[in-house]
Amino acid sequence: MRALAVQAFAHSERAARALADALGAPFDPIGLHVFPDEEILPAVPTPARTVIVYEPLDHPNSKLIRLLLTADAWRRSGVERLVLVAPYLCYLRQDAVFAPGQPLSRDVIGGLLGPRFDRIVTVDAHLHRTEDISAVFGGARVDNLSAAPALAEAIGGAGAAPLVLGPDRESAPWVQALAALLGGDSVVLSKTRIGDGMVEFDFGDLGRVEGRRVVIVDDVCSSGGTVLRLAARLSQAGAARIEFAVVHALFGEAVRRRMGEAGIARVVSTDSITHPTNAAPLAGLLAAALKDERAP
């Protein structure tokens, strides 16, 4: 049996092949049959002792069933070690019960994935109130990587150093890290979410914005409400150029068009999720974290 292989479904093949190339490991596609009633039957390829499965978990509901069924097939085929590489992990925004009658989705997803995988590798998990991510997944090893180096390279540092702006206090550590990598400074706002797509900001003193290149940075963008509101305020404050860098781009084309109309000159995202704005590949970052899996 082979020591190591990277495997993925067809929709993730390009990014998975890039990871396999960075690791110097073989890549195998996973087969999938769909029945008329939309039940699915995955078929795993020739097994290896360690299988690294690449599966970003955006649009998660069908992907989760597929992944759970395939994990069973891997174990039955003799795979000894299963490593899930999910650059975007779903259902983590609900990491507290915010209102009566709601689930604690964080713990549900942890209970599904934690027992089935020996290790999980993700990027900037959306857990603002959880300090120990491994505890969410039953104590399994979880690597929560920072996309700051990849985003900094994609944003570029040509010309005057930018002002890096974070929308809330939770963004402070990686906004500051990104500013340091770009040789710029940073400002972090205070945000109150009123509802889905509705936020209020305490902008404080934005005098530092006038005449500057400002890069708004966030970990996740879906509705675009936050960045659109920020762009409007930054334009009023006299920003010379506004850009947006996001780790996980979940928004559609209509939102991207509105960003351009709002004066955002450039949008940059990592390839944690396949998106037209992808400019920061994560294969090198992920391969560096997974290099110990190549050991015999």
Predicted pLDDT at 252: 95
Predicted pLDDT at 156: 86
Question: Are the C-beta atoms of residues 284 and 254 closer than 8 Å to each other?
Answer: no
Predicted pLDDT at 199: 61
Q: Characterize 44-63 residue by residue with b for buried, 16 or more Cβ atoms within 10 angstroms of its Cβ, and e for exposed.
A: bbebbebbbbbbbbbebeeb
Kindly list the structural domains of the chain, giving each domain's residue range(s) and its CATH number in brackets, ordered by start: 2-146+281-294 (3.40.50.2020), 148-271 (3.40.50.2020)
Query: What's the one-letter identity of residue 264?
Result: I
Q: Which residues pair with 249 in a beta bridge?
A: 221
pTM of the predicted model, to two decimals?
0.92
Predicted pLDDT at 164: 94
Query: What's the one-letter identity of residue 266?
Result: R
Of 63, 126, 191, 248, which is the active-site residue?
A: 191
Q: Based on the residue annotation, tell me whether 63 is a catalytic residue of this protein.
A: no
Query: Which conformational region is residue 252 in: left (phi greater than 0), alpha (psi within -120 to 50 degrees), or beta?
Result: beta
Predicted pLDDT at 219: 92
Question: Which residues have a Cβ under 8 Å from the Cβ of 29 and sit 6 or more positions away?
Answer: 7, 8, 9, 10, 13, 45
Predicted pLDDT at 27: 97
Predicted pLDDT at 25: 96
Predicted pLDDT at 127: 82
How far out from the chain centre does Cα 226 lie? 17
Question: Are the C-beta atoms of residues 128 and 95 closer than 8 Å to each other?
Answer: yes
Q: What is the mean pLDDT of each run of 10 residues along the chain (296 residues)?
A: 95 96 96 96 95 97 96 97 97 88 94 96 88 87 95 82 88 88 89 61 75 93 92 93 96 96 96 96 97 78
Predicted pLDDT at 97: 87
Predicted pLDDT at 205: 65
